[in-house]
Chains A and B, each alone.
Chain A
């Protein structure tokens, strides 16, 4: 080695050593910023009286007195800080190996504890879940036939979102049955039950994601942080106690089964059955099935899926009648909704249109079908079925005219498990665009 080369090597080594020394400290700062941003949202949100916090029974009253009323400005600044710190922590975890397993677990655990202790954030959906449960258990009304407006005298009615008061449930019969035991606990008890369900589902999803990444030979620490410290996952998904977390748990259980029992028929059948069970919670996860079946190329997943479907349909029919298993009708109804945050709406505005029209819905469906067919062909040719499923879930979210923050979480656990890094980059890019789209009130506050 020449003297110049030796000197360059020494300089490079010095820089690497210096970076390695700084990386854990930088990761610590990012972690603290994430916790601080979450704490700010939770403590300010606990005060209520904010358009960001849905009207709710006082479950976080003991946290009041520390924060101030949560306004858009503070919320959006906290979200930006959280997002930048998240990107920083992921970069450090992946490139510098700067974060230990214990540290990552402590960070994710702290975020979960903070959110669990706080109020419901940003969505009234959890009150719809409780309303449907109380309709069935306390009032004997089929939640697949009527909306919460049929129980105007029930204490939960006042907390249900205005747009959903007349809407029957679109969730799977298994989820509805799962929520029934919480109904007799009263609104506050059921709310805590829903929060606990979301917390446990999230913990399970993260544990299974960890297991899947290890089975795939991917570093589990950055994967855990990518999902468990994701701003949309924590603030919107967990903060709103959304049942999407239960769907994600079952989705990752299915993936875990296929990875754990690669050569076992039983595992494959069980994995497909688990996907169907997930679809009986929320139908979206059924998108995994064709890719799983194409990848395995055996009868077991088909048999497992059919068995679970028949059993689920029987249970759904017995509990709720034909409407309880008419998933297609519910999906068609929801597909017609339009939200201001959806990408099709943004594109319509860009093209000078006031919004999306029926023909746009057809075009979007055609685009989605084309994407799915391409991914099926790729899977047939040996592409990772987990990645193909993730792309499909991402495509569903992007082409949907009804986009909510927690929909962009669907592909995230799959994106960290697969080795096709494009999926993770695309998922995080879409999430970043969603966050950017929330920024208008920060640039031009409305008083």
Chain B
């Protein structure tokens, strides 16, 4: 048993030694491979198995820049989510206000908002009579200010003919401060 074990150990050592030799002494195939990998090229053109030394500083700078870029992207993402959340809150309040103001419980009401945070003045348009979106005379309301009890203040508004977009040239029967705000023609 012991002999067998010793023989086995020796054999294993011999195998390991052979493998080690094979690893350190290039055989014909490896030499061919190295030639193929650019052995005939000048040293600076040959492929590298590992990075050249002296790139630790580069890596540090890269990692620092990556962290800063990541932080910047994270701030931009969170800011955008907050912005969008405020817009959504206004949207809900504006739809509720439009329904309460006009007495119509329509769902196809089109809000048009200043989604980029410059102002909180939003326009909400919807039909004055039942029908497909924009197929009837529409009433548009201008809403501003904070949300109070789930609604916002209506300061102005106008009407639009059927099948038209909310463009200055189509607006008529303006009310409130629409003309003073430059939202309607006189």
Contacts and interface: CB of A to CB of B under 8 A. Distances in A.
Tell whether A and B belong to one assembly: yes
Interface of A: 262-265, 295-298, 343, 345-347, 349-350, 352-355, 378, 381-383, 398, 422, 426, 429-430, 433, 436-437, 439-441, 443-447
A357 to B, nearest CB: 13
What 5 pairs across the A-B complex have the smallest Cβ distances? Answer: A263-B33, A444-B88, A382-B48, A440-B84, A382-B51
Nearest to A395: B69
B37 A350 contact: no
Interface residues of B, number: 45
B102 interface: no
Contact of A398 (B58, B73, B83): B73
Contacts of B46: 297
26 contacts: A263-B37, A264-B36, A297-B38, A297-B47, A298-B36, A298-B38, A343-B73, A346-B73, A346-B76, A346-B80, A347-B72, A349-B79, A352-B116, A352-B117, A378-B55, A382-B48, A422-B62, A429-B70, A437-B77, A440-B84, A441-B88, A443-B88, A444-B85, A444-B86, A445-B92, A446-B88
A230 B48 CA distance: 33
Interface string B79-111: 111011110110110010000000000000000
A23 B37 CA distance: 45
Given A349-B79, A352-B117, A382-B50, A422 B88 contact: no
B75 interface: yes
A437 B79 contact: no
Contacts of A444: 84-86, 88-89, 92
B36 A349 contact: no
A91 to B, nearest CB: 19
A433 B38 contact: no
Contacts of A296: 37, 47
A343 B74 CA distance: 10
Interface of B is mostly: helix
Nearest to A300: B36
Interface string B32-48: 11101110010001111
B47 A349 contact: no
Given A433-B73, A443-B81, A297 B91 contact: no
B117 A295 contact: no
